[in-house]
Structure formats: C-alpha cells, structure tokens
Structure 1
C-alpha cells in the first residue's frame, strides 16, 4: 500500500472515530444538562480547538498528524452545527442569548487553540 493511500485511509478512520466521539459526548452532555442551550456543541468545539492547538505546537507532519487533525478533530468539531444552533437560539431565545453563545464559542475556541499551542510548544 502506498504512503499516500495509507494517509487517506487513516484520515478516514480518524474522522469516523471523531464523529462517533462527538455523538457519544453529545448524548452524555444532553443527559446531564439543559437542552435549552447547546452545551454539547459548545464543549466539543472548545475542546477540539484546544486539542488542535496542541497538535499545531507539536508540529510533527505526517500521516498520524493528519489522522488526528484532519481526521479525528475534523470529525469531532462541528462548525455547521454551531451555525444551526446559533440560528435556533436567535429564533427561540432572542439575540442576547444567541450573541452570547456566538461570542463565547468563538472567543473560547480561539483561546483553546492559543493555549493548546502555547502549552505544547513550550
């Protein structure tokens, strides 16, 4: 098997594992929290951003790096769900709740990348 084909396969496997992990975490978070606020997506995107920051700091390019970043973290984090839930919050809870969710999600996700990178690069 060629190196390029192997990279494609492990990215796909990583993405599958990331998506299943996201689904399991979503079910668990929804079982212990209110469904009126998208805590699961909030937690998933922030932790995924932190983990991605760690991967950036390690800077070990190769198949394993792509399996974790493009694969697992690509399947684990979810910008499209964040967008849908932002619109739903706007419609159901109003602009204050939606704006708070958007601002906190974006700022804490960026902080996650920065802190993960800083932690792993030091």
Structure 2
C-alpha cells in the first residue's frame, strides 16, 4: 500500500510522505527483528548500559586533552567489558593495571591472553561481587 501511495502521488509533500518514504527505504532493517528473534525490538538494553556512563558526564569537565579523553575511553571500555563478563569491574581493573605495570617494558604481549575478561587464569577476586578487605 505504501508503494502505491508513493507511485500514485496521492500525498503532497510533507511529513507523512517523508515517513512513508523512510519506511519503504528502510523496509529490510525495520523487518529484521521479525526474521531473527535475537534482535530486540527496542534499544532498552543499550540505553541501560549507557546510563551509568551518561550519569557521570559531569566528570568529563576534567578531561581537557585528547590523551585524557583516550584514557577515559579505555577505562570505560574495560569497565563495561568487565560488567558484560560478570566480573567485579573495580577488582578486574585493579588486576589489569597491576599486570600491565609489571609488563610495561615488554616487547612480547603473550601475557595479555591471561588478563582478558574470559580468561580462566583470572584471580578469583575478579569474579567476586563483594569488596575484599585487606586483613
């Protein structure tokens, strides 16, 4: 029906015609979730994942250089990857930074496989959801 409206010029230029043209041009994308049940109909999961990042945007005022922005992006990426892999983000980040500090002069990067979030070699503290106390 939309294609008939478009070809017969039954609608004058306007928002309705623009909307119909958009639907026609994006038909495959708009129907994708009907063909694959794993594709969500909304982006609520994505918005939820970004919420904590956006709530802390007032701290961005402290980032006054490209290097600072790159460092923040790396930390956010590592943190969100830890969350996605059901790790304690603080403990995982602490572990990664400690290991990287010990290897900062290395030219061989094989150790990185051991600190990836899905590595079996991660310490148990990274998988713990509670804070550990130093006794």
Which bracket does the TM-score occupy, shorter chain normalised?
0.3 to 0.5
TM-score scaled to structure 2, two decimals?
Answer: 0.31
Higher-Rg member (1/2): 2
TM-score scaled to structure 1, two decimals?
Answer: 0.34
The structure with the largest helix share of the pair is 1
